[in-house]
Structure formats: structure tokens, C-alpha cells
Amino acid sequence: MKQRVALVTGGCGGIGTAIVKKLARLGHRVATNYRDEERARAWLERMHAEGIEATLVPGDVADPQASEAMVREIERRLGPVEILINNAGITRDTTFHRMTYLQWTEVVNTNLNACFNVTRPVIEGMRERRWGRIVQISSINGQKGQYGQANYAAAKAGMHGFTISLAQENARLGITVNTVSPGYVATDMVMAVPEEVRAKIVAQIPMGRLGEPDEIAHAVAFFVGEEAGWITGANLAINGGHYMGW
């Protein structure tokens, strides 16, 4: 299998770490961003202890200039980005009638505008080289909506429109663009939800459990493989049967 340069945004988080490890174990050279240097150093030590090599660069995906600088630094250190996983994300939950403009914009900037900020500096190179793999990590709540998450659901739903438009524009140039939509996965993001609320969520999942980060990473690895070259504009829902729509 050809070794590629992969950028996983938010790679130090729960799902991101699983994606970084999966792609590194497949032989790819993987980079990710950090915002807090001390935490990033601790994360890298954990990776090394598991035999995983990863390149860490500073970067705030909600900021266009910082995102471009992050991509250029990765290119300088590893070469052109051939695989991009737009994974970084946040929640700022509250019902819409209480939502502040800041809660709205932080979530839209980090989940949706980041897709522009990070993809824009890599897409031209992918087009020139006529090969690329782009995967957005959306969410079940971008598909079905969620009480208290108008900001998050809007941003995650927007990622699908982005995916299918970018897929059309770049299909003839060997670039695939797809979306993975996880249901509730046992990461810090979900474990921060009060236990009784989590129990109610699990009760709605036909599989009767939360997902594991590795189960999301497995799907990402599938989409970025050489063999997946005819799969573009697709959305893969991975949610234990929680939502079976589009």
C-alpha cells in the first residue's frame, strides 16, 4: 500500500486519536494539530509508548490564517497533504432561545467553517496531483437534529452540503470526499453528559451501548483506502442503529 501524508484535525481528542493510530498503523505519515502545548506533549508521549509516530503542529481550525499556517508547516515537514480528515469539533449546548451569538459562532466556526479553513489550503495540491481523500466527521445530530443543539446540528448538517458539492467538483481529479456520521461514542465529549442523560441515550440505541472511537476510525480507514476510489459524496452513519435515515 502506498504511504500517504495524512492530516487529522483534532487528532489528540477521543475519536481523533483513534483515527491517528489507525492511519499510522496502516503506514501513513500522520499529522495533527494542538492548541495546548503541554497536553500535546503528554499525548505524543502516550503515542510513542504505543509505537505510534505522529507529527504535531500548532493550529486553531476556527481561524483561517492559523489553519493555512498549520497546513504549510505540515507540508514543510512531511510533504503535501494527501489525506485530510476534518475531525476537530466542539459543542456548546443550550436551547436556542437561550443561545448566545458566541455559542452559535464558536460551534459553527469550529465544526463547519473549519472545513473551509483547512480544506482550502490542501485542495489545489490534491487537484494538481490528481489524488486525494477528504473525510468530514459529522454527527448523527446533523442528520436528525437534537434538542439543545441547534448550533451543532446546523454546523454538522452543513458539512454534508460541503461534502457533496466538493465531491462533485473534484471527482474527475481522483479526489474523493465523504462524510462519516457517528452516533454517541464514548469520548470526553459524551462522557461529559450527565450519567442519567447518557443512560437515556443508550436506551435509545438498538445495539444497547455507546460506540468506540476505533469503530469510527475503521470507517475512516475504509474511505481513505486506494480501493475506495469510486466512493464519493457518500455519508456513512455509524450509530448502533440509533438513526437509520439518510
Map residues 22-41 to x or -, x wherever contact with ligand NDP holds by CB under 6 A: -----------x-xx-----
What is the closest distance, in whole angstroms, from the C-beta atom of residue 68 to ligand NDP in the complex? 13
Neighbours of 130 (CB within 10 A): 11
CB-based closest residue to ligand NDP: 13
What is the closest distance, in whole angstroms, from the C-beta atom of residue 48 to ligand NDP in the complex? 18
Q: What is the signed CA dihedral for 111, 115, 118, 120, rounded to 10 degrees?
A: -160
Residue 192, C-beta contacts closer than 8 angstroms, at least 6 positions apart: none
Question: What gap in Å lies between CA 17 and CA 20, rounded to an integer?
Answer: 5
Catalytic residue numbers read: 152
What is the closest distance, in whole angstroms, from the C-beta atom of residue 108 to ligand NDP in the complex? 12
Q: Which helix (H) or strand (E) holds 182?
A: strand 175-182
Q: Which is nearer to ligand NDP, 87 or 170 (CB)?
A: 87
User: Considering only residues 47-86, where is the footprint of ligand NDP by CB under 6 A?
Assistant: 59-62
- Closest listed residue to residue 135, CA positions, set 223, 67, 209: 223
What is the closest distance, in whole angstroms, from the C-beta atom of residue 178 to ligand NDP in the complex? 15
Backbone angles phi, psi at 30, to 5 degrees: -110, 135
Map residues 174-193 to x or -, x wherever contact with ligand NDP holds by CB under 6 A: --------x-xx-xxxx---
Asked if 113 touches ligand NDP (CB under 6 A), the answer is no
- Closest listed residue to residue 31, CA positions, set 59, 61, 55: 55
Q: Note the residues at the interface with ligand NDP (CB under 6 A).
A: 9-10, 12-16, 33, 35-36, 59-62, 87-90, 110-111, 137, 139, 182, 184-185, 187-190
